[in-house]
Copies of this chain bind each other. A is one copy, B any other.
Amino acid sequence: MAQNQPIEALIDLMARLPGLGPRSARRAVLQMVRKRETLLSPLAEAMQEVARNVRECGNCGNIATGEICDICASNKRATGEICVVETVGDLWAMERANVFGGRYHVLGGTLSALDGIGPDELRIPRLVERIPAEEVTEVILALNATIDGMTTAHYIADRLDGMVRLTSLAQGVPVGGELDYLDEGTITAALAARKAF
């Protein structure tokens, strides 16, 4: 296919995004070229803006524009509760349910002996530090209901044992299910019925 070089390069990159294959990447790029002023240029600028200004929150691991994310910086969020999630996507899923008023801690994954991911790779030491520093009284373990998620929850429960009240999302999260795929109602119910871990 003797196609245009910059176009080919863009299609190859787009095809690496989750959910897009070569065909949908081609369609997306054609749409961009058709809407250069209203879509392509704004996309390029929005990406550059994110690349320049977005980083990890130094406190919780959420996405941030400054040193600290909007949630950690807000004085409207309860300081005594931390909800522990695996990824930023899971944090967003919790926020969409709009039912948790505390702060978060984003682990960045789960423990995995197979992949060589230990506690230090997961921002767990920082979680332990936050308990006294933010006078935390409850840690809600909102990990995915997968084997790795449960293993990680148990490890964290051991580390924080005696320091703080530990709860986990109620059953209601389907077994094997991932937070990011759940509707707001299920997340709301699971949080309301949370139980001691």
| Interface 9-mer from A89-97, A125-133, A157-165, A186-194 | A89-97
Asked whether A46 is an interface residue with its Cβ less than 8 Å from the other chain, the reply is: yes
A75 contacts the other chain (Cβ, under 8 Å)?
Answer: no
Q: Cβ of B89 and Cβ of A33 under 8 Å apart? A: no
Contact with B along A40-62 (1 / 0, CB 8 A): 11111011111101100000000
**Neighbour of A54 across the interface among B1, B7, B88, CB < 8 A:** B7
Q: Cβ of A1 and Cβ of B47 under 8 Å apart?
A: no
A18–B27 CB distance below 8 A: yes
Contacting pair B44 A48 (CB below 8 A): yes
The reply to whether A43 and B69 form a contact with Cβ atoms under 8 Å apart is no
Total identical chains: 2
Partner of A14, one of B2, B13, B16, B43: B43
CB atoms of B7 and A63 under 8 A apart: yes
Q: Write out the residue numbers on chain B whose beta carbons fall within 8 Å of the beta carbon of A41.
A: 47-48, 51
User: Taking the nearest CB of chain B, how far is it from the CB of A77, in angstroms?
Assistant: 9
| A69 to B31 Cα, complex, angstroms | 19
A6 within 8 A of B: yes
State whether A6 touches B50 (Cβ < 8 A).
yes
A50 with B65: in contact, given A3-B95, A18-B24 (CB under 8 Å)? no
Contact of A7 among B17, B31, B50 (CB under 8 A): B50
**Top-10 shortest CB links A-B:** A44-B47, A10-B46, A17-B28, A19-B24, A44-B48, A6-B49, A18-B27, A6-B50, A41-B51, A13-B43
